[in-house]
Amino acid sequence: MESARYFLPREASSPPNEVSEIFAHGTLIYTIMSGIKPYPKLSDENVEMRYRKLEFPETNDIICGRTILRCWNREYARAEEVVHDLVYLEQ
């Protein structure tokens, strides 16, 4: 089970799938690029409430911020799409 900051809001009994893994990957990218986990001062319950409302940390100042938001907003169906966007940023 993913920790709260990496958990795509869904029923706790629902197994992870590719979309939930992409959501977690977005959080990983955010953590690496910003140097902090999302909402570091909030409790896990408050983070989950924000995620359920689709309220995510600001990413405007992060190079791949748009990619992170797309992960969080479930705009990717496949992990290859995330890789494609990240490779595009390198060019």
Query: What distance in Å separates the CA atoms of residue 36 and residue 30, rounded to the nearest whole number?
Result: 8
Q: Taking the domains of the chain in order of start, what are their residue ranges?
A: 4-90
pLDDT tens, residue by residue, 27-56: 999 999 999 999 999 999 999 999 999 999
- The pLDDT of 64-79, averaged and rounded, is 96
pLDDT tens, residue by residue, 15-27: 888 999 999 999 9
Q: Which of 36, 22, 21, 35 is nearest to 67 (CA)?
A: 22
For residue 4, what pLDDT is reported? 83
Unique residue bearing structure tokens 């600001």:
58
CATH of domain 4-90: 1.10.510.10
Got the DSSP string for 21-84? HHHHHHHHHHHHHHSS-SSTTS-HHHHHHHHHTT-----TTSTTHHHHHHHHTT--SSHHHHHH
pTM of the model: 0.89
